[in-house]
Amino acid sequence: MDILASLGKRIQAVRERAGLTQEQLEEKAGVNTKYISAIERGQKNVTIKTLEKIAKGLDVDLYELLLLSEEIGSEKTARKAVDSLLKDADTKTLRLCLDFLKKAAA
């Protein structure tokens, strides 16, 4: 399974666990339902900013959407996933990610 499909499944699982439909998540996150659907199917490469919106809409921390270790399997694949997500991140997003990684490593 590729990284986009794994991320999509993770988002869908968190959304369903929260008891939300895609339409309800659209209202809470400000992300179009069709786009959410495409993300969940692994058809769209989502940005960190959009992931942040989805995380807020799901009332979870951003890192919880990135907990793909069970689906990804290898460290190499996980590193590629993180690199891909951070590729176009702005300075604020990079700092948030760095703060998270520092806390997670402590």
Total number of domains in the chain: 1
pLDDT of 72 > 50? The answer is no
Residue 28: pLDDT band (50, 70, 90) is very high
Model pLDDT, residue 87: 80
Please give the model's pTM, rounded to 2 decimal places. 0.66
Structural domain span for residue 28 = 3-105
- pLDDT, mean of residues 74-84: 74
Q: What percentage of the chain has pLDDT greater than the value 90?
A: 56
Model pLDDT, residue 88: 78
Model pLDDT, residue 74: 65
- Say which CATH number the domain at 60 has: 1.10.260.40
Largest CA distance in the chain: 39
